Amino acid sequence: MSNPVLNVSAVSKDFGGIRALDDVDLVVHDKEIVALIGPNGAGKTTFFNCITGIYTPTSGDVLIDPKGQGTTRRINGKKPNVVTELGMARTFQNIRLFPSMTALENVMIGTHCRTKSSIWGAISRNRATRREERDVVQRSYELLELVGLAEFVNELATNMPYGKQRRLEIARALATDPFLLLLDEPAAGMNPQETRELEDLIVGIRERFNISIMLIEHDMKMVMSMSDRIYVLDYGRMIADGTPAEIAANPEVIKAYLGEEHDD
């Protein structure tokens, strides 16, 4: 198998006296769909924050190898915009769109980290800049179509239904041209029909863009049906990883979810 595109090794994160992540290991391979699950407060969002530059891990390594060819780079402590430029894009548990911009403008902002025009190009509006602007609009529109939002192209993000805003966040993340797409509770607030459609969309994104996808999700039906592998966090510790069938049959996972007495 090729080198993992993401290799997280022995990562811990402390908040004062609280150890939110404790010696966590996780890998994602090329084109894998990997889920991170665990009870509330287990440390899932803290994990995403540690690997996307919002937090610096207290210890451990976050390594990426976008092409999976052994060219590994350590990204601990890099700023979120740098992590995005390096090819890791994410969505948030609490949607973070630009509410008073249109759907198209929100996606166009995502393309920004891949455009080349300088400030001088923007002022002089030379031919290369105008061509690049046209390409950005075209590509952003195509991404809106792909996530099923073509009819909302000129709608302000704030006026869009909640489930559509979640899709818009995915389109904006894709606009950064990632090798790894990180989705934090993409199905939150969606009804069963919307969740099924979202699942199709996520699997379709993997096929179309040949990228890896990692998601935090509480909807077990969705997680079990679409993931290649699943990791389980409990009280900041990784208690299991495996295929959906292995995870469903793992006694420690069942215990964590049923909230039985916790062994140390």
Ligand X SMILES: Nc1ncnc2c1ncn2[C@@H]1O[C@H](COP(=O)(O)OP(=O)(O)OP(=O)(O)O)[C@@H](O)[C@H]1O
Does residue 9 contact residue 187 with C-beta atoms inside 8 Å?
A: no
Is residue 52 near ligand X by the rule CB under 6 A?
Answer: no
Is residue 91 near ligand X by the rule CB under 6 A?
Answer: no
Crossing angle of the two packed helices 127-146 and 162-174, in degrees rounded to 10: 140
Is residue 43 near ligand X by the rule CB under 6 A?
Answer: yes
- In this structure, the number of other CB atoms found within 10 A of the CB of residue 183 comes to 26
Is residue 107 near ligand X by the rule CB under 6 A?
Answer: no
The partner residues of 184 in beta bridges, in order of sequence, read 216
Is residue 94 near ligand X by the rule CB under 6 A?
Answer: no
Which of 2, 60, 54 lies closest to 28 in space, CA to CA? 2
CB 86 → ligand X: shortest distance, Å? 22
- In this structure, the number of other CB atoms found within 10 A of the CB of residue 129 comes to 18
Is residue 41 near ligand X by the rule CB under 6 A?
Answer: yes
Name the residue nearer to ligand X (CB basis): 42 or 89: 42
Does residue 89 contact residue 173 with C-beta atoms inside 8 Å?
A: yes
Is residue 56 near ligand X by the rule CB under 6 A?
Answer: no
Is residue 44 near ligand X by the rule CB under 6 A?
Answer: yes
Using the contact rule CB under 6 A, the part of the chain among 39-47, 147-155, 165-173, 247-255 near ligand X is 39-47
Does residue 223 contact residue 242 with C-beta atoms inside 8 Å?
A: no
Is residue 15 near ligand X by the rule CB under 6 A?
Answer: yes
Using the contact rule CB under 6 A, the part of the chain among 42-50, 75-83, 122-130, 138-146 near ligand X is 42-50
**Under DSSP, is residue 45 helix (H, G, I), strand (E, B) or coil?**
helix
Is residue 46 near ligand X by the rule CB under 6 A?
Answer: yes
Using the contact rule CB under 6 A, the part of the chain among 40-48, 159-167, 187-195, 196-204 near ligand X is 40-48
Return phi, psi of residue 13, to 5°. Answer: -140, 120
Which one of 5, 6, 26, 45 is in contact with ligand X (CB under 6 A)? 45
Is residue 198 near ligand X by the rule CB under 6 A?
Answer: no
Token readout for 39 is 């009870």
CB 236 → ligand X: shortest distance, Å? 7
Using the contact rule CB under 6 A, the part of the chain among 38-46, 111-119, 141-149, 253-261 near ligand X is 38-46
Give whole-number Cα distances, 130 to 113, 116, 137, in Å: 17, 12, 11
x/- mask, ligand X, residues 155-184, rule CB under 6 A, reads: ------------------------------
Using the contact rule CB under 6 A, the part of the chain among 13-21, 56-64, 126-134, 153-161 near ligand X is 13-21
Residues 6+ apart with CB under 8 A from 34: 26, 28, 212, 213, 214, 215, 227, 228, 229, 230, 231
Contact footprint for ligand X (CB under 6 A):
15, 18, 20, 38, 40-46
